Amino acid sequence: MSLYWRILLLNAAVLVVAVLLLLGPVTVSTPVLPGEALVLGAGLIAMLVANAVLLRIGLAPLQRLSRAMITADLLRPGSRLAVSGPGEMAELTKTFNKMLDRLEAERAASSARVLSAQEAERHRIAQELHDEIGQTLTAVLLQLKHSADQAPAALRDELGQVQEATRASLDEIRRIARRLRPGVLEELGLHSALRSLAAEFTTRGLSARAYISPGLPPQSEEAELVLYRVAQEGLTNVARHAGARAVEVHLSCGPAGGIGLLIRDNGQGIGQAPEGAGIRGMRERALLIGAELTIRPGPSGGTDVLLDVPEAKGAHS
């Protein structure tokens, strides 16, 4: 029986009983006698209580469904509402769960297309920086050196300063190109890429170290790229926002035959700050390979960023 008919029939039954009482042994006098007022008041209270109880019981599945709709997050997939309640509510819950399945699949597919296009664009920009601007600045450096060798002594110092500024610009462009396109990942693999990334983020105020466990299972190229990008974004967040003095990158075996990436810093922690675009980007990348991203307080302060990658299928060796 539908929710509508259950509420309607109970209300009708309560009203019929009230009318029968008024037409039978109980009558209303003018003025109203105390006994009649008591019976009528009791009947009114009984109707209100019965309606409140039925509505609470009947609408409880709808309230659970409403909370699930409000809290649903496509970046944290897998959460489904248990099917319960009468027929209509059960069907509505099943429809909602199917809608979440479809939305998560579509979100994962669209994110994969967007991130693939983003990687291709990064590759193109890095190539242009290296081939065009890098070669141009290299030629400028050679010309400056040639000019400095032939210039009067009074101009050599100024030309030397221009050389240093140009060389610093060239190094910065190369660094940007390496971050846009992790060539070391393609050439030497994930382990060397993570060590190189940690060394890149090591500065006078921040110590970054990478710890790679031996005997790790092989990963697909897509999984290695996701691991690298999550580590890169995590280290970037530490350098920009954490106020940390040290950060560690751990790559180790996961609990179910997969692989786990842990980025742990000793900074001020994430607190109650909302997740920004960087963390959302990490979650989207994790979805591409079915991984789970967890951000939690560290054991001794700071923040832990943990990426659990499931066991690889069809991974290259």
Query: Are residues 315 and 198 part of one domain?
Result: yes
Q: Residue 211: what are its φ and ψ, rounded to 5°?
A: -125, 115
Distance CA 12, CA 5 (A): 10
pLDDT category at 315 given cuts 50, 70, 90 is very low
Does the model's pTM come out above 0.85? no
Round to whole Å and give the CA distance between 256 and 12. 58
What is the distance between the alpha carbons of residues 304 and 97, in angstroms, rounded to a whole number? 31
pLDDT at 202 over 60: yes
User: Are residues 216 and 100 part of one domain?
Assistant: no
| Residue 245 resides in a domain | yes
300 within a domain of the structure (yes/no):
yes
Q: b or e along 275-314 (b: 16 or more beta carbons within 10 Å of the residue's beta carbon)?
A: eeeebebbbbbbbbbebbbebeebeeebbbbbbbbeebee
User: Are 307 and 205 in a shared domain?
Assistant: yes
Tell me if 261 is assigned to some domain. yes
Residue linked to tokens 């509510």: 89
Which of 63-67, 84-88, 194-198, 200-204 ranks highest by mean pLDDT?
A: 194-198
Q: 61 pLDDT band (50/70/90 cuts)?
A: confident
**Cα 68–107–77 angle (5° rounding)?**
40
Residue 309 and residue 260 in contact, taking contact as beta carbons nearer than 8 Å: yes
Note the maximum CA span of the chain. 124
What distance in Å separates the CA atoms of residue 181 and residue 284, rounded to the nearest whole number? 19
Question: How many separate domains does the chain show?
Answer: 2
Which residues fall within 8 angstroms of residue 154, CB to CB, at 6 or more apart? none
The reported pLDDT for the residue numbered 4 is: 63
Nearby residues of 237 by Cβ (< 8 Å), 6 or more positions away: 278, 279
- Angstrom distance (rounded) from CA 309 to CA 288: 11
Q: Is residue 122 part of a domain?
A: no
Domain that holds residue 45: 3-72+80-104
**Model confidence at 240, in pLDDT bands (50, 70, 90)?**
confident
